[in-house]
Amino acid sequence: MEDTDFAKRIRFGRLYDFYGGLLTDKQKNIMELYFYDDYSLAEIAAKENTTRQAVYDLLKRVEQTLEKYEKKLKLLERDENQHFEVRAAAKLLKTYISEGHEDPRLKETEKILQDIEEKGR
């Protein structure tokens, strides 16, 4: 959960994107402050009238809850496998187009692949 552990933070955010709907309103509220408004733990504590430690504990518990859902449903894992395939397809098409094959259908296909890649889920 430390900001230095960037990959872990990204995973936490993606888990929230998949399973956040199953959290309580309070948990969601704090996750939104943490991820979307980029508040520090101390700032969240001040806003919620609690301690930095309590916010830390809540986020830790949320992380465990989300990991528990991932263990049961594996939606993130499945999505990452698909993401890899989509990126491979986009790359193949890109090299083909770059050799002078101009066609709006190719461009459109490339755009759709990029869309899917960016959206993740």
Put residue 59 in one of left, alpha, beta given phi > 0 → left and psi -120 to 50 → alpha: alpha
CB 75 within 8 A of CB 18: yes
Candidate ranges 6-14, 35-43, 44-52, 66-74; the one touching a second copy (CB under 8 A)? 66-74
Q: Is 100 in the site for a second copy (CB under 8 A)?
A: no
What is the amino acid identity at position 31?
Answer: M
CB 116 within 8 A of CB 86: yes
Q: Is 26 in the site for a second copy (CB under 8 A)?
A: no
For residues 49 and 1, give the distance between their C-alpha atoms in angstroms, rounded to a whole number. 21
For residues 92 and 110, give the distance between their C-alpha atoms in angstroms, rounded to a whole number. 10
Q: How far is the CB of 52 from a second copy (least distance, A)?
A: 30
Q: Is 56 in the site for a second copy (CB under 8 A)?
A: no
Out of 19, 41, 52, 63, the only residue in the binding site for a second copy (CB under 8 A) is 19
Site residues (vs a second copy, CB under 8 A): 18-19, 21-22, 69, 72-75, 78-79, 82, 85-86, 88-89, 92-93, 95-96, 101, 103, 105-106, 108-109, 112-113, 115-116, 119, 121
